[in-house]
Structure 1
Amino acid sequence: MDTRRLGYFVRVVDIGNITRAAESLHITQSALSQHISALESDFKSRLLERTGRGVEVTSSGRSLYRYAQGIIRLEQAARIDLRSGSDTPAGLVTVGLASYSMATGLAVPLLRAVRRSYPKIQLQLIQNLTVVMSQAVLLGQVDMALIYDPGYVKGAFFERVQEEEFHLVTSAGAPPVAARGDTVTLKEASALGFVMPSELHTVRRITDAAFHTAGLHCSVVAEVETDSVLRDTVVHGLGATVLPLSAVRAHFAPDEVRVHRFADTRLCTAMSLCTPEVQPLSPAAALVADLVRTLLRDPVLLGRRPG
């Protein structure tokens, strides 16, 4: 299989338009169309459907897109590794970081540690993917992922890091939710409008389940997948949200929000480092995984007070 064609296909899907994709690839539109047709012939399946505004991906195309990302990443990693030409650890290592979690606070310390200890390792940090992070590990799109533990996933190993407890977060400029100060009941919280990630996200699923168990409704006024956008909406009083303390400390200044512990329930889940269960990590990825483990023992990074 010509991996170059897979790269062309991924670019078309990302852009959603063959003409603009051809321009970005510096090839003609007809040549790009021929490459896509060749892929469809190889897989004996329609991958793209033309529309008035560009192209749409078929179900077969979505499946190939996920695998193609992993194949392209592995080829890139191999090229970097072979070009190094020395015994110094080198290669591309991709780490997935769960949004709305303490994983976000790992990014800069990890990058700093890799640059200091292994300057020939190229680190790639990814937060938002079209598939869940555990599946991205299985597909080879990422080497490892620091995520909320989803439970058993065939082919994936989860090394538990810590437990995250979720809290209600509201704007400091909004009216107080309860008179007790830093605690709130689910019933009191149910009167608020929430800004949350989609129903696929662990934070959302655990929050919805807690309200449902209490016979209450969590009113979601907007779904937001980007940490920075969620931060701005909460600070400006456009909605409340639910986050672990480590994520609150990473995204908000102390005077920007009020943080409330739930008085009548405990919303929590485990954070885990997800790696392939059978396929061993590359030498470079194994070194980065060790750095991740070392950093995760830092109480400041984990949002805990020392001692």
Structure 2
Amino acid sequence: MNLRRLKYFVKIVDIGSLTQAADILHIAQPALSQQLATLENEVKQQLVIRTQRGVTPTEAGKILYAHAQAILRQCDHAQSAIDGAGKALSGHVSVGLAPGTAAQQLALPLMQAVQRQHPGIVLYFNENFGTTLSELIMTGRMDMAVLYDNREIHGLRFISLMKENLYFVCPHSLGSAKQTISLTEVAGYTLFLPRIYNLMRKVIDDAFVQQGVPYRVSCEIESQTTLNAALAEGLGCTIMPESAASAMLDPAKSWMAKITSPEMRTSLSFCMSDHLPLSQPAEAVKEILLQLMVPRSQDNTPLMLAG
């Protein structure tokens, strides 16, 4: 396989049309079709299905598409490193930030530090859930992320940044404010939680199961805006890490209480590929990001953002 054919294939899948892809690539459609046919012969698989509405990748095509993106990204990194030898760092660096976490507090300080130290680097922030961000890193479509996770996952490397206690967040219309609350008391409320593949949801589910306490999740919500609105209307309550809980008190018209009996915590971690090397600009951003986190106590638990 040569790189040009891979670039053509990725563009065809991205656009979903041979005709439009040919126009964008400034190549005749018959020539583009021939390049695609050559690539299919090389891999001995049909890569796309042609229909009147365009083209869609086959299962084999989807697999090659993911690998092609990673290959082309690494080639771009190599060329960027060669071009930038002896020069100021420049290029694009993608950073994932899990929503509803302390990770979001990193965006502005990181942006300011990068602009000050490496003005040629262009940052791309992607706020998404941990499973999505980790998949993007595995396939080489994202450089790094800060998310709730620290498990051993093939293809990923985690660096622990901080641990946060989980808090119960309740609308003023559904109960009087308190400082602490037991998990048994929490089970008496209607809950809004993220979906079961979310790491924080797993921590919560495991705690309820271990305590033998039945609970009811009336809606699975992964939009912070929707969650704030639902609580503001007094429709139910939620469980969030301390930083996220604090940020939603005013928009959700709510109070927060630390969950005790048992106390629950989640780990916020820096995530990157364990086999795909970072580009020079990405390495620089990684170092700045990690420097923005400093220990608040001697045992390094929890950690907080540097001032």
The interval holding the TM-score normalised by the smaller chain is: 0.7 to 0.9
Query: How far is the alpha carbon of 1:121 from its aligned partner?
Result: 0.9
Q: 1:304: how far off?
A: 5.7
Call closer, same or farther: CA 1:23–1:250 in 2, change over 3 Å.
Answer: farther
Q: How does 1:71-150 map to 2 (within 5 A)?
A: 71-77=71-77, 87-128=87-128, 132-150=132-150
Deviation at 1:119, TM superposition (A): 0.7
Are 1:77 and 1:92, in contact at CA under 8 Å, matched by a contact in 2? no
Q: For 2:217 and 2:71, how far apart are their aligned partners in 1?
A: 38
AA aligned to 2:8 is: R
The one of 241, 244, 250 equivalent to 2:241 is 244
Distance 2:235 2:55 in 1: 35
Matched, 1:206 2:170: no
Which residue of 281, 285, 296 corresponds with 1:284?
281
Cα distance in 2, alignment partners of residues 258 and 3 from structure 1: 53
Please report the TM-score for the alignment, with normalisation by the length of structure 2.
0.77
In structure 1, how many angstroms separate the alpha carbons of the residues matched to 2:272 and 2:124? 16
Of residues 59-68 and 78-87 in structure 1, the stretch that sits farther from structure 2 once superposed is 78-87
Q: Give the Å deviation of 1:57.
A: 5.7
Find the counterpart in structure 1 of residue 193 from structure 2: 196
Number of aligned residue pairs: give it.
297
The aligned counterpart of 1:175 is 174
Judged with a 3 Å threshold, the aligned counterparts in structure 2 of structure 1 residues 282 and 254 are, in CA distance, closer, same or farther, namely same
Write out aligned runs for 1:256-295 (5 A): 256-295=253-292
Give the structure 2 partner of residue 228 of structure 1: 225
Q: Per the alignment, do residues 63 and 26 of structure 1 end up closer, same or farther by CA in structure 2, a change over 3 Å counting?
A: closer
**Displacement after TM superposition at 1:182 (Å):** 2.5
Alignment of 1:18-37 (within 5 A): 18=17, 34=33
- Measured after TM superposition, the shift of residue 77 of structure 1 is 4.6
> What is the correspondence of 1:1-12 to structure 2 with a 5 Å cutoff?
1=2, 2-12=5-15
User: How far apart, CA to CA, are the structure 2 residues paired with 1:19 and 1:238?
Assistant: 49
Please tell me the residue identity of whatever aligns with 2:151: G
Per-residue deviation at 1:161? 0.9
CA distance, structure 2, for counterparts of residue 31 and residue 239 of structure 1: 58
Q: C-alpha offsets along residues 31-84 of structure 1, whole Å, 9 cap, x if unaligned? A: 799476665555444555678988766543443343344345445555665666
- Deviation, 1:224, is 2.8
3-state SS of paired residue (1:204): helix
Retained in 1: the 8 A contact 2:95–2:144? yes
Q: 1:129 to 1:257 in 2, by over 3 A?
A: closer
For residues 182 and 31 of structure 2, what CA distance do their matches in structure 1 show?
A: 58
Larger radius of gyration: 2
CA distance in 2, matches of 1:305, 1:110: 11
Q: Return the TM-score normalized by structure 1.
A: 0.77
Q: Which one-letter code corresponds to 1:187 in the other structure?
A: T
- Distance (Å, rounded) in 1 between the aligned partners of 2:149 and 2:11: 34
**C-alpha offsets along residues 189-209 of structure 1, whole Å, 9 cap, x if unaligned?**
223333222211111111111
The Cα offsets for residues 93-138 of structure 1, whole Å up to 9 and x where unpaired, read as 1222223321122112211211121110111222337954344333
Residues of 1 paired with 2:37 and 2:221: CA distance?
36
2: CA distance between counterparts of 1:125 and 1:36? Answer: 33
Q: CA separation in 2, counterparts of 1:42 and 1:233?
A: 53
Partner Cα distance (1:180, 1:253) in 2: 14
- The answer (yes or no) to whether the contact 2:106–2:305 under 8 Å persists in 1 is no
CA distance in 1, matches of 2:76, 2:258: 45
Deviation at 1:246? 1.3
Amino acid at match of 1:99: P
- The residue identity in structure 2 corresponding to 1:175 is L
- Contact 1:8 1:32 (C-alpha < 8 Å) held by counterparts: no
Are 1:296 and 2:259 an aligned pair?
no
CA distance in 1: counterparts of 2:113 and 2:153, whole angstroms: 30
Aligned partner of 1:222: which letter? C
Q: Amino acid of the residue matched to residue 92 of structure 2?
A: L
Change (3 A) 1:75 1:9: farther
Instruction: Find the aligned partners of 1:193 and 1:168 in 2 and give their Cα distance.
Output: 12
Structure 2, gaps ≥5 residues long: 297-301
Q: CA RMSD in A?
A: 3.8
Contact 1:97–1:103, Cα closer than 8 Å, also in 2: yes
Q: Which moved more, 1:185-194 or 1:159-168?
A: 185-194
Task: Determine if contact 1:76/1:92 at 8 Å carries over to the other structure.
Answer: no
